[in-house]
């Protein structure tokens, strides 16, 4: 388990950016994108467009991953 977040590069609407995520969140994020048949950049753009302006992109991705897996086990 990686304790420190690692920077990962993304392209959102043609602009390069990076997010710092723990390896576990990055792997889960990539897996969700693959399950949806979407590139990581497309899913990141969707999350970015839906997030509140006071929430950072990395936090929004973590919340998205958490909700995705939580929703799978919640009846």
Number of domains present in the structure of the chain: 1
Q: Quick: pLDDT tens for 43-62.
A: 999 999 999 999 999 999 99
Q: Is the pTM of this model over 0.85?
A: yes
In a domain, 28, yes or no: yes
**CATH code of the domain in which 57 resides:** 1.10.3990.20
Residue 67 lies in a domain: yes
How far is it, in rounded angstroms, from Cα 49 to Cα 63? 14
Cβ 38 vs Cβ 23: under 8 Å: no
Residue 11 lies in a domain: yes
pLDDT tens, residue by residue, 9-47? 999 999 999 999 999 999 999 999 999 999 999 999 999
Domain that holds residue 13: 6-73
């Amino acid at each position: 388990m990686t304790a420190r977040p690692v920077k990962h590069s993304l392209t959102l609407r043609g602009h390069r950016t990076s997010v710092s995520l723990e390896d576990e969140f990055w792997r889960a994020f990539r897996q969700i994108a693959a399950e949806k048949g979407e590139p990581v950049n497309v899913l990141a753009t969707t999350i970015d467009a839906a997030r509140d302006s006071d929430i950072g992109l990395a936090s929004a991705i973590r919340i998205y991953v958490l909700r995705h897996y939580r929703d799978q086990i919640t009846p």
